[in-house]
Amino acid sequence: MLKIYFNLTIILAFYTAYNIYMLNRYNFIMSRTTLIAEWPKDALDLTANISPFEDTALIKPQAFCGEKTFLLIFVESSVRNFLARQAIRETWGNSSRFNYPDFQKLHGHLKGTYYPPLKSRLQLYSEYLTGKDESLRASVRVLFIIGRSRTNEFLRQLREEADQHNDIIMEDFIDSYRNLTLKTVLALKHLSSSCYNTTAYVLKTDDNAFVNIPNLLHILLGGSMPTRNSFGKKVFRLTTTSNVLLGKKLSRAKPIVDVKNKWYMPHYMYPNNTYPAFLVGKGYLMSMDVVKRLYEAAWYTKVVHLEDVFVTGLCAVYAGVERMHSSLFPMFRSKRLCNYKNSIIRERPKGLSFFKVFNFVTNYSIKCTQSHKAETKPLS
């Protein structure tokens, strides 16, 4: 009698397990069916929103890209983020203050553990540079791109802000998280049409990131950084001038099934089970040719609402641009402020203003030797 009960229990257990398994499988197959209301099935063509042959900007800087610019940083912002934009202008985005001479102040004590700029690149880019050696400076420009609010609220304040700083592009689309792809592609449109002959490199980022401009300039000029984990590995140095698409690379990432997740991806929008390699949207670097190629690829690529998957994944595949990984784009926020001294781009730490981070990074009596120690191979 006992034995029969025992057997029944086992059968029941198996039966339950089997049902749970089938239910999960069913959920998996049925998942990714929820629509994204803002991007209906029959409207996955971006060209309708881009108007390639028309200038649709509501606000644009005067004499936009009229000057030679070595590095243009476009910061994705939104209508209400007045304070973030102002904080960026007064901290890392102030390139008349925070420029290449700061590299020496940041890392001079580590000399011998990193490569200086390449002579050939200094020559090649001489029209973008002034001064030399420790007073070398590069022309850097920071621009903000925003959409509009549904009600055109704040339009007057924005015009005033734009008049005062001449650093805002406002485009005619409704600014929302689900329209981020549109925001980037419209930025690429303006850069391709106005900056192609005057700008060498473009960094895309957002208004919650801290960008270490001196470090980025050093890499663009062909130098290397004393980074973690570089021991024994090939030292990263930029030697090409075109075909550059660089950032934090994710390979074989899978579409997210959870409808409540902001990265949820419906099947109709992206039917494949894996994404092509792409660079995390917090920040990536492009040479100007790549800006144009990615923009043009966007005309022919079915849209996905995830900006980084779309631009640096799908459009890059279409345009035949390779994604390069660099550990200098760690993205994640860090409590150790030294990490802002020795990387190129990171999210601002929670609860700390741009001013706090900037004051730390530019306080050159604080030397961050610890994080470099024993992690880099001295150069002979």
Ligand X SMILES: *[C@@H]1O[C@H](CO)[C@@H](O)[C@H](O)[C@H]1NC(C)=O
**Interface contacts to ligand X, rule CB under 6 A:** 38, 49, 89-90, 94, 96-97, 173-174, 176, 178-179, 182, 196-197, 272, 276, 359, 363, 365-366
Minimum separation from the CB atom of position 4 to ligand X (A) = 51
Nearer to ligand X (CB atom), residue 155 or residue 235: 155
Minimum separation from the CB atom of position 376 to ligand X (A) = 24
DSSP state, 314? Answer: I
Minimum separation from the CB atom of position 10 to ligand X (A) = 42
3-state helix, strand, coil in the chain (%, to 5): 35, 15, 45
Helix axes 288-300, 180-194, angle to 10 degrees: 130
Nearer to ligand X (CB atom), residue 178 or residue 228: 178
Minimum separation from the CB atom of position 344 to ligand X (A) = 21
3-state secondary structure 56-86: CCCECCCCCCCCCEEEEEEEECCCCCHHHHH
Nearer to ligand X (CB atom), residue 117 or residue 305: 305
Residue 138 half-sphere exposure toward CB, CA atoms < 13 A: 31
Nearer to ligand X (CB atom), residue 211 or residue 328: 211
Nearer to ligand X (CB atom), residue 106 or residue 182: 182
Distance CA 53, CA 136 (A): 39
Minimum separation from the CB atom of position 296 to ligand X (A) = 14
Which residues lie across from 129 on neighbouring strands? 138
Give the strand order in the sheet containing 278-287: 168-174, 140-148, 69-76, 199-206, 278-287, 245-250, 324-325
**CB-nearest residue to ligand X:** 38
Minimum separation from the CB atom of position 370 to ligand X (A) = 14
Minimum separation from the CB atom of position 248 to ligand X (A) = 21
- Per the CB < 8 A criterion, the answer to whether 253 and 274 are in contact is yes
Nearer to ligand X (CB atom), residue 197 or residue 380: 197
Contacts of residue 351, defined as CB under 8 A and 6 or more positions apart, other chains included, come to none
Q: Which of 257, 252, 298 is nearest to 275 (CA)?
A: 252
Nearer to ligand X (CB atom), residue 87 or residue 285: 87
Q: Which of 245, 154, 142 is nearest to 199 (CA)?
A: 142
Nearer to ligand X (CB atom), residue 94 or residue 327: 94
Minimum separation from the CB atom of position 314 to ligand X (A) = 7
Distance CA 308, CA 76 (A): 13
3-state secondary structure 320-341: CCCCEECCCCCECCCCCCHHHH
